[in-house]
């Protein structure tokens, strides 16, 4: 029998965060399904884990760390 899976939704949305220049900020959200694929974007650019960005996902919680924050990261 074919069935339709429920869509992945946000249980907790991202909140604006402030950080001093040079600091680290963590953005996080919570999804309705564990381990759903997530893309973090800045404008049209898809962010990848690097020295600047760290992406973590555990269950329904997804986190983006931005290291050495600059004004351009807003």
Q: What is the pLDDT of residue 74?
A: 86
Q: What is the pLDDT of residue 5?
A: 78
Residue in this structure with the two tokens 């939704």, named with its chain if needed: 9
Q: What is the pLDDT of residue 1?
A: 65
Q: From CA 49, how far away is CA 65, in angstroms rounded? A: 9
Q: What is the mean pLDDT of each run of 10 residues along the chain (74 residues)?
A: 81 90 95 93 94 95 96 88
Q: pTM for this structure? A: 0.84
Domains defined along the chain, listed by start: 10-66 (2.60.40.10)
């Amino acid at each position: 029998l074919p069935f339709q899976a429920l869509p992945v939704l946000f249980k907790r949305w991202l909140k604006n965060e402030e950080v001093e220049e040079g600091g680290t900020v963590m953005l996080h959200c919570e999804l309705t399904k564990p381990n759903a694929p997530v893309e973090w974007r800045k404008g049209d650019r898809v962010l990848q884990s690097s020295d600047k960005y760290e992406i973590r996902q555990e269950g329904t919680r997804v986190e983006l760390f931005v290291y050495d924050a600059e004004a351009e990261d807003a």
